Structure 1
């Protein structure tokens, strides 16, 4: 699977409506990810996309089948997540706080 294919697959699993939405969420131009079909991304852009998708850059590059660079990376920290989206749109800070409280209640049962 190519870098671009992995990004498309993960963006769909993470409920981004399009690769364009993922590009914008990662702070890149709306068509930047499409260029990854034929060109290698910069390290900064690759890391930004990996962070948004919650995986390691090595996973996106196909260097490993392990999605996370180490075992501590496999837990999504909602409070510090760069973006939390639903239906391809970022959720508000208020919604993020509500979700965090719900998760805290669940872990303290």
Structure 2
């Protein structure tokens, strides 16, 4: 996956379209689309990473940095956050995960999954 696709996927997980991200950052329209062919400046990458709540390394590699002890409250919270990020139905919680205790984070996950199941049941019943 190229840099553009990685940014697009992270942006989508955070509720951003590429166009909205470009507008908020003051970038020219379609400039992020060109990142696979023309490498962006370090400054641009840093601005994108900060806006999306990830590291530049994550944007470049798609890998969470193992030394993330300063980002998450503890290791268990980091692991739960990774699970959330990998589950498209739960990604809306990803940005909030870093400051929660594991217990609170699990409670939020359970709640979101319950809502999703209720929605699916409602849709299956044709309501």
Same structural fold, with TM-score higher than 0.5 when normalized by the shorter chain: yes
TM-score normalised to the size of structure 1? Answer: 0.58
Q: Is the 8 A contact 1:26 1:49 kept in 2?
A: yes
Regions of 4+ moved over 6 Å: none
- Rg comparison, structure with higher value: 2
Q: What are the within-5 Å matches in structure 2 for residues 1-109 of structure 1?
A: 1-16=1-16, 18-62=17-61, 65-66=63-64, 70-74=68-72
Q: Which has the higher contact order (CA 8 A, sep 6+)?
A: 1
Indicate the SS of the match to 1:7: helix
Gaps of 5+ in 2: 74-103, 105-127
TM-score normalised to the size of structure 2? Answer: 0.50
Q: Which structure is higher in helix share?
A: 2
- State the distance in 1 between where 2:49 and 2:65 align: 10
- State the distance in 2 between where 1:22 and 1:71 align: 28
Instruction: Supply the RMSD in Å over aligned alpha carbons.
Output: 2.5
- State the distance in 1 between where 2:33 and 2:26 align: 14
Gaps of 5+ in 1: 76-106
- State the distance in 2 between where 1:40 and 1:3 align: 9
Q: Paired residues, what number?
A: 75
